[in-house]
């Protein structure tokens, strides 16, 4: 039946026609995890007992016709979303034994819709990374080539969906951590407008940048998940009342298409971008032109300031957010501390990995007396300039197309010794987070047998249109249907 190939819509149909029960579907994907994940390390936790309970409940809802469209569909959660009574580690030794007493809002909403949690996915420690190599639980491998990284920090989610170990997964995006792994793994990943999805129960990296969203096979699946998780939450003061509650309609008429102008930022297609990547993207642009979309060159002049501004702001917020891990309230605690200072120092030295320590130090330095104005305040001013660049661009065009990453997936270990090279992996994704805009990465082709992703960037709260544009492209192409050969079997 090739269940692993099917979209959420197709899986929902199997459940509602009683061709397959929710328990059978959950067991099917757990069996795939047990068979294939030793090659990928995409999961940290698989809780078969919890999955079975949720699946049995889903089956009872379907039998009583009290189900939603998502009832009984398996899902994996990135391991920074709190899951009640299920291990939540954030990829760190600091939280290797932490079992939360509550669910994150995003998890709660999907549970209420009847989805079945089959596991928690591996990730860069505390979401700090672009390759999913900094996890305390080991590197994640890319299903398209297991010597390559899957991207980060949501690499476990992307790797699992690409290998069809789960139909869909959640991710978080602070500087590209949904979109870049989606690009490296040939998937569709949606980073929503900042504040459109609650962050309550999501372990924080940089609070003014973090946003959660779906990683899935196609735009339709992303829309179904986003519809369920979006909306204001009184537990999260940064969540926004302006989010539309209506379900996303992916249909778009030819007349509407002809009215849409797409911007191509000249700064994004410079020498920093691999020519093979730009060639694949412009081949996709030609398909969009045939569909009726108009294109126009635009400029985002502050683009070159994005990386330094982003890493100062993100590291500053991380140094503040991670101060709670002190060995007293929860998480790892060193043995036999001599005094309070020794407790703090040894707990944090033992509990945090190298990348996390590095960013805490950068952030603490940027916020220190004498450097606050010179670094942090200046970065905030640059952030406003970057946002203003986008606002000006949207006066001329409706949406923006951009590369997701300057290259395809790179080798494991290739950039771990060069922080600058690693940070530059996010050069095309971080501006969207600094501006708080929505964007999706969609697969548009291959280069040297590795997937290439392209971003569709929109104005605030334009997720529906972004997904419509992605969907119309996916109806004309089959890049989103490609499966890594090694995992394309039962």
User: According to the model, what pLDDT value does residue 257 have?
Assistant: 98
Whether the bond into 153 is cis, omega within 30 of 0: yes
User: According to the model, what pLDDT value does residue 393 have?
Assistant: 98
450 and 179 Cβ atoms separated by less than 8 Å: no
Q: Which of 261, 225, 231, 170 is nearest to 469 (CA)?
A: 261
Looking at residues 431-450, what average pLDDT do you find?
98
User: According to the model, what pLDDT value does residue 291 have?
Assistant: 97
pLDDT digits (tens, 9 = 90+) for 289-300: 999 999 999 999
Report domain extents, the chain: 3-256+462-487
105 and 233 Cβ atoms separated by less than 8 Å: yes
User: According to the model, what pLDDT value does residue 142 have?
Assistant: 98
Given a cut of 90, whether residue 1 has pLDDT beyond it is: no
Given a cut of 90, whether residue 420 has pLDDT beyond it is: no
CA distances from 48 to 16, 45, 59, 167, 303 (A): 23, 10, 16, 16, 46
User: According to the model, what pLDDT value does residue 419 have?
Assistant: 86
Hey, which residues are catalytic here? 78, 153, 177
- Strand-pair partners of 453: 443
Question: Edge-to-edge, what's the strand order for the sheet holding 294-298?
Answer: 43-45, 116-121, 74-78, 168-172, 212-216, 188-191, 439-447, 450-457, 399-403, 261-265, 294-298
pLDDT digits (tens, 9 = 90+) for 254-309: 999 999 999 999 999 988 899 999 999 999 999 999 999 999 999 999 999 999 99
Given a cut of 90, whether residue 355 has pLDDT beyond it is: yes
For the chain, what is the radius of gyration of the CA atoms? 21
User: According to the model, what pLDDT value does residue 86 have?
Assistant: 98
Fold of 3-256+462-487: Amidase signature (AS) enzymes (3.90.1300)
Cα(306)–Cα(406) distance, integer angstroms = 14
With the C-alpha atoms ordered 270, 421, 162, 9, is the resulting torsion angle positive or negative?
Answer: negative
Cα(467)–Cα(427) distance, integer angstroms = 23
- Strand-pair partners of 446: 451
Mean pLDDT (the chain, rounded): 97
Span between the terminal Cα atoms of the chain, in Å: 9
Given a cut of 90, whether residue 52 has pLDDT beyond it is: yes
457 pLDDT band (50/70/90 cuts)? very high
Question: What phi and psi, each to the nearest 5 degrees, are found at residue 59?
Answer: -60, -35
Looking at residues 299-324, what average pLDDT do you find?
97
pLDDT digits (tens, 9 = 90+) for 184-206: 999 999 999 999 999 999 999 99
pLDDT digits (tens, 9 = 90+) for 72-91: 999 999 999 999 999 999 99
User: According to the model, what pLDDT value does residue 272 have?
Assistant: 80
349 pLDDT band (50/70/90 cuts)? very high
pLDDT digits (tens, 9 = 90+) for 133-146: 999 999 999 999 99
User: According to the model, what pLDDT value does residue 244 have?
Assistant: 85
pLDDT digits (tens, 9 = 90+) for 10-42: 999 999 999 999 999 999 999 999 999 999 999
pLDDT digits (tens, 9 = 90+) for 114-134: 999 999 999 999 999 999 999
- In three state form, how does the secondary structure of the chain look? CCHHHCCHHHHHHHHHCCCCCHHHHHHHHHHHHHHHHHHCCCEEECCHHHHHHHHHHHHHHHHCCCCCCCCCCEEEEECCECECCECCCCCCHHHCCCCCCCCCHHHHHHHHCCCEEEEEECCCHHHCCCCCCCCCCCCCCECCECCECCCCCCHHHHHHHHCCCCCEEEEECCCCCCHHHHHHCCCEEEECCCCCECCCCECCCCCCCCCEEEEECCHHHHHHHHHHHECCCCCCCCCCCCCCCCCCCCCCCHHHHHCCEEEEEHHHHCCCCCHHHHHHHHHHHHHHHHHCCEEEEECCCCHHHHHHHHHHHHHHHHHHHHHHCCCCCCCCCCCCCCCHHHHHHHHHHHHCCHHHHHHHHHHHHHHCCCCHHHHHHHHHHHHHHHHHHHHHHHHHCCEEEEECCCCCCCECCCCCCCHHHHHHHHCCCHHHHHHCCCEEEEEEEEECCEEEEEEEECCCCCHHHHHHHHHHHHHHCCHHHCCCHHHCCC
Half-sphere exposure of 151 (CA within 13 A, CB side): 40
User: According to the model, what pLDDT value does residue 109 have?
Assistant: 98
Cα(132)–Cα(40) distance, integer angstroms = 11
Give the number of other Cβ atoms within 10 Å of residue 216's Cβ. 30
Helix axes 48-63, 8-16, angle to 10 degrees: 60
Pick left, alpha or beta for residue 221 (phi over 0 → left; psi -120 to 50 → alpha; otherwise beta): alpha
CA distances from 466 to 177, 364, 404, 456, 472 (A): 18, 37, 15, 6, 10
**CA–centroid distance for 152 within its chain:** 8
- 0.95 exceeded by the pTM? yes
486 and 164 Cβ atoms separated by less than 8 Å: no
Question: What phi and psi, each to the nearest 5 degrees, are found at residue 230?
Answer: -75, 165
């Amino acid at each position: 039946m090739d269940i692993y190939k099917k979209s959420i819509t197709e899986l929902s149909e199997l459940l509602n026609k009683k061709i397959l029960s929710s328990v059978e579907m959950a067991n099917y994907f757990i069996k795939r995890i047990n068979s294939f994940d030793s090659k990928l390390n995409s999961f940290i936790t698989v809780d078969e007992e919890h999955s079975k309970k949720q699946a049995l409940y889903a089956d009872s809802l379907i039998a009583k016709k009290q189900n939603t469209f998502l009832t009984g569909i398996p899902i994996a959660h990135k391991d920074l979303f709190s899951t009640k009574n299920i291990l939540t580690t954030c990829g760190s030794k600091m939280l290797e034994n932490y079992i939360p007493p509550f669910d994150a809002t995003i998890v709660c909403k999907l549970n209420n819709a009847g989805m079945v949690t089959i596991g928690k996915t591996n990730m860069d420690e505390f979401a700090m990374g672009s390759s999913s190599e900094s996890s305390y639980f080991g590197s994640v491998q890319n299903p398209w080539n297991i010597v390559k990284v899957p991207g980060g920090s949501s690499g476990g989610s992307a790797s699992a969906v690409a290998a069809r170990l789960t139909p869909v997964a959640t991710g978080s995006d602070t500087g590209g951590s949904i979109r870049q792994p989606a690009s490296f793994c040939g998937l569709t990943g949606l980073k929503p407008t900042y504040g459109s999805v609650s962050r309550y129960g999501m372990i924080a990296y940089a609070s003014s940048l973090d946003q959660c969203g779906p990683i899935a096979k196609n735009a339709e699946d992303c829309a179904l998940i986003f519809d369920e998780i979006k909306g204001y939450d009184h537990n999260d003061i940064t969540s926004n009342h302006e989010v539309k509650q209506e379900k996303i309609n992916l249909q778009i008429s030819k007349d509407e298409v002809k009215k849409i102008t797409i911007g191509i930022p000249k700064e994004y297609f410079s020498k920093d971008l691999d020519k093979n990547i730009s060639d694949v993207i412009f081949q996709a642009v030609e398909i969009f032109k045939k569909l009726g979309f108009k294109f126009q060159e635009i400029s985002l002049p502050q683009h070159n300031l994005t990386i330094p501004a982003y890493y100062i702001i993100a590291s500053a917020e991380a140094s503040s957010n991670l101060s709670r891990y002190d060995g007293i309230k929860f998480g790892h605690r060193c043995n036999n501390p001599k005094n309070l200072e020794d407790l703090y120092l040894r707990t944090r030295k033992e509990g945090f990995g190298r990348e996390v320590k590095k960013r805490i130090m950068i952030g603490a330095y940027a916020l220190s007396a004498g450097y606050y104005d010179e670094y942090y305040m200046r970065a905030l001013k640059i952030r406003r300039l970057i946002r203003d660049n986008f606002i000006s661009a949207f006066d001329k065009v409706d949406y923006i197309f951009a590369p997701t990453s300057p290259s395809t997936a790179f080798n494991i270990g290739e950039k771990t010794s060069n922080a600058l090279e690693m940070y530059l992996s996010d050069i095309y994704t971080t501006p969207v987070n600094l501006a708080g805009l929505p964007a999706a990465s969609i697969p548009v082709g291959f280069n040297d047998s590795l997937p290439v992703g392209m971003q569709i960037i929109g104005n605030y709260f334009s997720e529906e249109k972004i997904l419509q544009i992605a969907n119309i492209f996916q109806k004309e192409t089959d890049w989103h249907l490609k499966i890594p050969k090694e995992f394309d079997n039962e």
